[in-house]
Amino acid sequence: MVAEYAVGTGGDKGVSLLREGKAMLTTLRSGFERLDHEVVYPVAVRDFEAAVDKLSKESDAGIVIAPDEKLCELTEVVESNTVNLGCPSECVKICADKIQTTKILAEKGIPVPGIVSEEEMRRDDTRKRVFVKKPRYGCGSENVFILNGKENREDISFDDNHIVTEFIQGEDISSSVIAEDSFALPLTINKQFIRMEQERLIYEGGLVPYLIERDAEKKIMSISKKVVAMLNCKGYVGIDFVLGDDGTAYVVDVNPRPTTSIVGIARVLNYGVADLILRAKFGTLPREEEIKTEGCFTLKLTKTFLENLIKEKGLNE
């Protein structure tokens, strides 16, 4: 069973998420089918959780892709009925909570944007600083805002459902990792295309793989493996970073589920994503030196971003 929330609910979260959901579902379904597995999945059902419950009982294994605030409960349903190919529900619960995740990683020495208190935010000496406000539970760049300047701070509401952090100037990238019980296998580093619309951040796709300086690549892969081990992640994990202008790689989000990057990874990696997910659960993952990529894949890249990327990196069209 591959249960993708946007497709399963008929796209009640919007056309953009439905498109991404279809791409992820198609990628995993095709990957499992190439390995001679029969794949079932819910489509436009009224009760997504009930559909997951029914299909997982009828399946030998299952994986769920869903928003952070729903993923833990749905993962528990899968775990009670069959073999869960995704992260354990305990891991999902922690990763869904951006405040808890940030605090855990910070305590373990992982670079993260600092959490900002209401008192600090209101101080006069912070008026020239920039901050990020986002839902404590949420996925992608939904409702992520940049707080900049005195004029938009007086109306800022602080509550338990949001997190405010420092804004880190740098490149938006992610890492993709497959983890088994005692080993985490880094797959690719990916470029994330983030557009600022007024004060809101909008995710517009990505480039897989994204080539960066070798030392920075080693640093990101090393941090990724540490994060996966700390949070007890299993299966596919996507970790969002900002590679700061100072060279520090800051972890800004941990996604304990397949992310949109798998659409590109499936086209450039010498191993199938579905195959690796099964190997992580039932077999043995390949060694790091066995992982190779050929070519690159761009998802939902607008003309403006393409022109900027070509100009910035000197890429051929």
93, 73 in Cβ contact below 8 A? no
pLDDT at 234: 97
Q: Domain spanning 2-85: which CATH class is it, in words?
A: alpha beta
Whether the full predicted model's pTM is greater than 0.85, yes or no, is yes
Pick the CATH number of 95-111+169-313 from 3.40.50.11890, 2.60.120.10, 3.30.470.20, 3.20.20.70: 3.30.470.20
Mean pLDDT by 10 residues, the chain (317 residues): 95 73 95 98 96 98 95 98 98 96 97 89 71 81 70 62 91 97 95 81 88 95 97 97 95 96 96 98 95 91 50 50
pLDDT at 203: 81
pLDDT at 301: 46
The structural domains of the chain, with segments of one domain joined by +, span 2-85, 95-111+169-313, 118-166
pLDDT at 311: 56
pLDDT at 140: 56
pLDDT at 306: 45
pLDDT at 10: 87
